[in-house]
């Protein structure tokens, strides 16, 4: 009787394991990761004046993240996807994805960078200095010891200045530094 109970318990544990990402899920994740790696190699080897269509790689990153959300590489793949979105001119989509990565992966080592890139995109790509200021201040508040916080403080100092104004400011700073 005891052996029967152990057998039933063992069978239940196997069934639970299979329904929560057993061997089939691992195989799917391996296949999706292999597809990402293959597409990344293809993009890296693309040497041409013709623009490369990165939509397949963007989709591969999303497919992997959706199918394998607990894999440790997911936030990095999503950052790469956000960068491709930025490169495709989809700035609002990139900002949303950087925000989701920042908020959804609290142990991700590049969270501060994601927060900084949100502010940077608002400033440089969208020209929304109010939102850029808000997010640069957020970087400083949430990640005060990071290099990104230092960059955010510097960006706030020069926020909204024209290239000519920046050159004059740098010349004045250099002159002051030489004294």
Q: What is the per-residue pLDDT across 49-75, written as a single tens digit (0 to 9) for each? A: 556 788 999 999 999 999 999 999 999
Higher pLDDT, residue 78 or 170: 78
N residues, the chain: 179
Number of domains in the chain: 2
DSSP 8-34: HHHHHHHHHHHHTT-HHHHHHHHHHHH
Domain span at 158: 129-179
**Residues contacting 169, CB < 8 A, separation 6+:** 158, 161
Indicate if the pLDDT at residue 22 is higher than 80. Answer: no
What is the distance between the alpha carbons of residues 174 and 154, in angstroms, rounded to a whole number?
15
Q: Report if residue 13 sits inside a domain.
A: no
**Residues 94 and 141 placed together within one structural domain of the fold:** no
Element (H, E) at 138: helix 129-142
Reported as a single tens digit per residue, the pLDDT across 82-115 is 999 999 999 999 999 999 999 999 999 999 999 9
The pTM is what?
A: 0.78
Q: Report if residue 56 sits inside a domain.
A: yes
Q: Report if residue 36 sits inside a domain.
A: yes
Q: What pLDDT score was predicted for residue 143?
A: 98
Q: What is the mean pLDDT of the chain?
A: 85
**Residues 63 and 33 placed together within one structural domain of the fold:** yes
139 — pLDDT class (breaks 50, 70, 90)? very high
Q: Report if residue 63 sits inside a domain.
A: yes
What is the distance between the alpha carbons of residues 36 and 33, in angstroms, rounded to a whole number?
5
Contact 108, 101 (CB under 8 A): yes
């Amino acid at each position: 009787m005891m052996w029967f109970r152990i057998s039933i318990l063992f069978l239940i544990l196997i069934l639970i394991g299979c329904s929560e990402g057993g061997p089939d899920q691992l195989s799917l994740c391996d296949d999706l990761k292999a597809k990402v790696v293959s597409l990344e190699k293809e993009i890296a080897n693309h040497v041409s004046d013709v623009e490369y269509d990165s939509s397949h790689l963007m989709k591969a990153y999303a497919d992997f993240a959706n199918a394998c959300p607990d894999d440790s590489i997911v936030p990095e793949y999503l950052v790469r996807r956000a960068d491709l979105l930025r490169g495709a001119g989809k700035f609002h989509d990139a900002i949303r994805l950087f925000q989701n990565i920042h908020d959804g992966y609290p142990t991700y080592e590049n969270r501060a960078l994601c927060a900084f890139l949100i502010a940077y995109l608002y400033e440089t790509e969208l020209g929304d200095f109010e939102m850029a200021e808000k997010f640069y201040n957020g970087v400083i508040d949430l990640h005060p010891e990071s290099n990104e916080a230092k960059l955010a403080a510097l960006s706030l100092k020069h926020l909204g200045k024209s290239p000519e104004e920046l050159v004059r400011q740098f010349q004045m700073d250099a002159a002051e530094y030489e004294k």
